[in-house]
Amino acid sequence: MTPNISKLENLNLSWNYLISKSSDIKYLLWLQESNRIEILIKNKVFSILANALILEEISKKFDRYDIVDVEDKDRIKALFSKIKLLKVDSTQTTLSRIERIEKLWVKKIKWIESVVSNLRKVKTSEEIELIRKSQEINLKAFEVVLDKIRLWMTEFEIAKLIKIAHLKLWATWESFEPIVAFSDWWSCPHHTNSNERKLVKWDQILFDFWCIYNWYCSDMTRVVFTTKPNPEQKQFYDLLKYTNEECMKFWKIWMEYKKLHQKANQILWENSKFFTHNLWHGIGIDIHETPLWMRDLSTKIEENDVFTIEPGLYFPEKFWFRYENIIVVKNGKLVNILGEIEDKDYALGL
């Protein structure tokens, strides 16, 4: 992958700015040890602050920038002193560190939303391919696990199978713990897997699962039935698939993201009151990145945007359905990042 720090330079920022968020550093420098690096922009001059263990590697790759050892107290003091206002964009810069910087050198600190997050919104062809590969691994792992599910397994045991399958298929790791939710837990969209509740006949299982491949995340949600779904179950799940498909057809380039949610509500109609989950989120190095629900409602769709569409219906103490795919904007249209895939109804026949 090509480092993207030049994109940040092209913004020609006129204010002093400290970047510490690990995923932003990865994006800008494309270095593994991103949690040991910060970038300071002072008077339009870029300084890369790093741990001594990786200074040599950084110096070779980015020799035209000012490279600073974070343990060099005199250099650090010279960099931060006399800064009247320093903008900081990440809670990953610890509050104690910021308080120390402000106490010793900087007159005022201002917390802002990440400038880099907006740069990351539109993906390169390399990034899109990594996300596609990650999602391909994700889907394969899921289908491998379906053949291993048996009655009386716990949610925790099934989640463990997903994690093992991801690693066997050369995923780097999970973005987060996969969600495996049996029927009676479905009123909680961000469920924590149980090691006590066991799978029984007639249960539904909601899977929300993801992995990381070469730093890039995948994300998919499916509902699986232990037996043939009844007419009501099939009706609601088919409605979500239809909503997903119609949103893709409806959405056009340069349309605001909020119009997609409005379209989903129109399709769900009287059931929209049970649609209480975010419809989309951007995806890339982070599992959730720009565009984000609520914060980016008025953000417009652009070519090579990558995000999820995940309509859901949540009926308290009865059903919980969600259907999620990763979408990429190609030639002004929204398409599944995996292309044309078979849209299965998963019934395990247990």
Q: Tell me the C-alpha distance between 126 and 141, whole Å.
A: 23
pLDDT in tens, 70-117: 888 888 888 888 888 988 876 555 555 666 676 668 778 788 888 898
Number of H helices, E strands in the chain: 10, 17
CA-atom Rg of the chain in angstroms: 23
Amino acid at 75: R
Q: Residue 176: its pLDDT value, please?
A: 73
pLDDT in tens, 265-313: 999 999 999 998 889 999 999 999 988 866 667 888 999 999 999 999 9
Q: With contact defined as beta carbons under 8 Å apart, do 305 and 256 qualify?
A: no
Q: With contact defined as beta carbons under 8 Å apart, do 188 and 316 qualify?
A: no
Q: Residue 235: its pLDDT value, please?
A: 93
Q: Residue 189: its pLDDT value, please?
A: 62
Instruction: Report the phi/psi class of residue 215: left, alpha or beta, with left for phi > 0 and alpha for psi in -120 to 50.
Output: left
Tell whether omega for the bond before 291 is within 30 degrees of 0, i.e. cis.
yes
Q: Tell me the C-alpha distance between 273 and 310, whole Å.
A: 16
Q: Tell me the C-alpha distance between 85 and 110, whole Å.
A: 7
Q: Tell me the C-alpha distance between 254 and 252, whole Å.
A: 6
Q: Tell me the C-alpha distance between 305 and 290, whole Å.
A: 9
Q: Residue 184: its pLDDT value, please?
A: 64
Report whether pLDDT(118) > 80.
yes
Give me the mean pLDDT over the 133-152 stretch.
Answer: 95
CA distances (Å), origin 307, targets 193, 209, 218, 326: 25, 15, 10, 6
β-bridge mates for residue 40, sequence order: 18, 47
What percent of the chain is predicted at pLDDT more than 90?
53
Q: Residue 140: its pLDDT value, please?
A: 95
Q: What are phi and psi of 215, to 5 degrees?
A: 80, -10
∠106-50-120 over CA atoms, to 5°?
A: 85
* Average pLDDT over the chain, rounded to an integer: 88
Q: What's the pLDDT band for 186 if we cut at 50, 70, 90?
A: low
Report whether pLDDT(320) > 80.
yes
β-bridge mates for residue 341, sequence order: none
Q: Cβ of 260: how many Cβ atoms within 10 Å?
A: 23
Mention every residue, 6+ apart, whose C-beta is less than 8 A from residue 213.
Answer: 130, 133, 134, 137, 170, 171, 172
